[in-house]
Amino acid sequence: MLGCLAAAAAVVALVVPTMQTIAVAVCIAATVALIVVWYRSFQTLEDQSQSVASLEVKVDRLENESRRHSNALDDLADGLDLALFLTTQDQQILYANRRARDFFGFDDPTGQTLLAVTLSNELTDLAKNATESKEPLRAEITLSQPRERIVLASVWMESSNQARVFVSLVDVTSLRRLERVRRDFVANVSHELRTPMTTIRAMAETAEDETSVDDPNRTYLTKIIREVDRLTRITDDLLILSATESAAPSKAKFDLAAAVNAVVQQLRPKASGKHLSLNYTAPPECTYYGNEGQLTQVVINLVDNALNYTTQGEVNVTLGFDPDDNIVLKVQDTGIGIASEHVPRLFERFYRVDKGRSRATGGTGLGLSIVRHIVEAHGGSVTVDSELNKGSTFTVVFPNKRSASKP
Ligand code: ADP
């Protein structure tokens, strides 16, 4: 419409070309042009304010969404059954979930140090080590404040820029208490059974002595003695197992090569009785820092098994060092071997590939779990490599001989 007015003014100015008409036409055209410019800028402003408004809506929506996510994360962290802290690298607490606040009895521990809140040097050292090494770390820690508890602590760094540190604590107090109750129960039962078993054996032996060889009752008495002996072996093994579980081994320096040799000599008559050749290769001396009694038990169990499950051929015991200077003990036999499906469960308590054969050899099903417990308590590992009807090799590796032999 404004454009039409301007055009009309221009036409008038052309048709009636007086000075007055020209001036009027110019004024009209200028006014029209001004109106057009003002109208356009008004429209632009209106457009801009519309897009600002829609941006504001978008920002609001994003803000709401991020608040919702952050609230959901808070709810998630509060609902977890573990205490969770987020700290700076110098252990100033930035966030603590509800469990962490309840755990240490703080309404709001943010801004305080991890040490001030937990009063645990062990935990703060763990956090410090994880921060310095930039590696996630875990450890079982005993907290004494506000009351004594055992926790499994994990520390790890924020993944994006490693600027912040997460610390989580899982309370394992009742789990450890239950384990101790179970251990004590097994040890007490085994201990209590010893006296009646000794009495039963003594009485059965006396009765056997007083029974003539052709008396059919003699077979029962012999069986009673054999079964009591088996029960005694089981209770002895259970006592060894609970003793190794309940405390870290007390260690001293000793010659492992001589200890292994003593076991080999002790079992030599058993090998000769089965017409098996029992060979031992070792360095002249191998000083080790460990529990001599427990490690002797490991060697007895492995060599005894090798003899039990081998009918012909040989059993080779080798002690030496690998390229990393770790101490390696190998017990290799040419026996019945173990099918691969049994290998993963072999070190479990009472797991036997063939119960009948194990019983016949006087086995308890506890020998290998004792081996694993003792070896792991010394920081080592035990593995088995076996082929059915060809034989088995049990390999025990103890950490680096230099560090292992240091007190
Ligand atoms: P056990 O007292 O029955 O020998 P262990 O815990 O010592 O119990 O061994 C568990 C099972 O592993 C044994 O019953 C046996 O089936 C198998 N086993 C252990 N050592 C050998 C071996 N050298 N050769 C073949 N089988 C073995």
What is 309-335 written as a DSSP string?
A: T-SSSEEEEEEEE-TT--EEEEEEE-S
Sequence-separated (6 or more) residues with CB below 8 Å from residue 263: 296, 299, 300, 303
Give the model's pLDDT for residue 71. 86
Count of alpha carbons within 13 angstroms of residue 76, beta-carbon side: 6
Probe ligand 1: pick from 368, 389, 390, 394, max atoms within 8 Å of CB?
Answer: 368
3-class state of residue 249 by DSSP: coil
pLDDT in tens, 23-60: 777 767 778 788 878 878 778 888 888 888 889 889 99
- Judge whether residue 140 has pLDDT over 90: yes
Q: For residue 122, what are its two tokens?
A: 């062990």
Q: How far apart are CA 89 and CA 79, in angstroms?
A: 26
Among protein residues, the one with the nearest Cα to ligand 1's atom 21 is 305
Distance 305 CA to ligand 1 centre (A): 6
- Judge whether residue 359 has pLDDT over 90: no
- Judge whether residue 141 has pLDDT over 70: yes
Distance 314 CA to ligand 1 centre (A): 17
Residue 369 alpha carbon, nearest atom of ligand 1: 6
Among protein residues, the one with the nearest Cα to ligand 1's atom 4 is 363
Whether 277 contacts 270, CB under 8 Å: no
- Judge whether residue 406 has pLDDT over 50: no
Range ranked top by mean pLDDT from 6-10, 233-237, 245-249: 233-237
Query: Omega before 407 cis (within 30°)?
Result: no
Q: How far apart are CA 396 and CA 330, in angstroms?
A: 6
Q: Looking only at Cα atoms, what is the longest distance across the chain?
A: 161
- Judge whether residue 264 has pLDDT over 80: yes
3-class state of residue 109 by DSSP: coil
Q: What confidence category does residue 76 fall into, taking pLDDT thresholds of 50, 70 and 90?
A: confident
Pocket, ligand 1, Cβ cutoff 6 A? 301, 305-306, 309, 333, 335-336, 338, 346, 351-354, 358, 363-368, 392
Q: What confidence category does residue 404 fall into, taking pLDDT thresholds of 50, 70 and 90?
A: very low
Q: What pTM value is reported for the model?
A: 0.71
Q: What confidence category does residue 207 fall into, taking pLDDT thresholds of 50, 70 and 90?
A: very high
